[in-house]
Amino acid sequence: KMMARISSVLLCFFWATGILAFQNSHRIKRHNVEATSALQSRARESYTSNPPRRDEVRRGSKQTIKPSSIANNGKIKQERTVVIMYHKPPNVITSHSNADAISKTQTEQSRLTVYEDISTMKGFAGDQSIIGKEMLNFETATNIQSKLHAIGRLDAATTGLLLLTNDGNLVHQVTNPNAKQDNKQSKSVQKTYEALIMGHHELPEASTTVSATSETYPLVTLLEKGATLSPKHGGQTKPVDDLTILSHPTASTTLVSITISEGKNRQIRRMFHSIGSGVMKLHRVSVGQLSLAGLSSNSTAELQEGEWRLLSEDEIRIGLGWECRWLDEVSPVFGGRRSRASGKRQPNTRSTKRRRRR
């Protein structure tokens, strides 16, 4: 009988403990729901009474919109296509980051990037009379507040003409040989270089037989077939558009002018390497119809190393075959893209897909 009483007491005790625990958890859950609802109501009231400032609104997810880029009507100032012509010196890298320029044993400061060099305004060769020198900065001189992109990169050792723009479509137009502008432009934009290569090279006369051409004149391979690169470097290239021998500075070197319409990584250097030669110096002379003197053939108007200026819309249209345009407007609140034709905000399809996955 004693054991039966003890069992009854323990059963009643555990039953009462379970009821108390259930009531306590239910009370905590209800309290959390009420607290969350109160916080959400308070947040809505705070947002309604004190909306965020426009300089705190972000474009996309990372880039902060600057107050100076907001017009009086509350919309983002539209940028127009801007192209910068820059005479790139050696040992200046075409990259937004110079972190990769420091080796493990190198203690000195990393190499300068083209964007850092331009932003200092030291090489600005434009008209400074319209802007006070003490007020001269990159934004006021170019009206660019978005990110710049190089139109065809140059490696650190290569010098010459480098174009930079805020128009991503223009970058695609010049660097992609198959790109067309509004289905009107079918001709690829050509790039011309001067290269000092190893070896004494000649081009054959018109009467030279085909069998002796490729063996005696390796440069003919680039003119007729292009170069065979490794798959990771782009594979087979197109034949070069033009190849001319300019001079022989020494008995074992040749200065050539070469024109291509492709833009593979280090293509010129790898093309000459594929025929058993090598590039000692490389200088970009022109892009399209633009040289370092613009559309002019006057050598005295050429930019010196480190100098840069803005191209006019006529130079961009004639030299690159590109019509300057107003770039797409970004909504300061939603970060979406607004169509200039309709003025309606277009949905961000990438964000929508991301939400659906979640």
Q: Residues with catalytic annotation?
A: 155
How many other CB atoms are there within 10 angstroms of residue 264's CB atom? 17
Q: How far apart are CA 331 and CA 77, in angstroms?
A: 10
CA 105 centroid distance within chain: 30
DSSP designation for 99: G
210-218 contacts: CB < 8 A, separation 24 or more?
A: 218/275, 218/276, 218/277
Q: How far apart are CA 34 and CA 335, in angstroms?
A: 33
What does the CA dihedral 182, 185, 188, 193 come to, rounded to 10 degrees?
-100
Q: How far apart are CA 211 and CA 206, in angstroms?
A: 13
Of 147, 181, 176, 179, which Cα lies nearest the Cα of 164? 147
3-state class of 3 per DSSP?
helix
- Kindly state the greatest CA–CA separation across the chain: 126
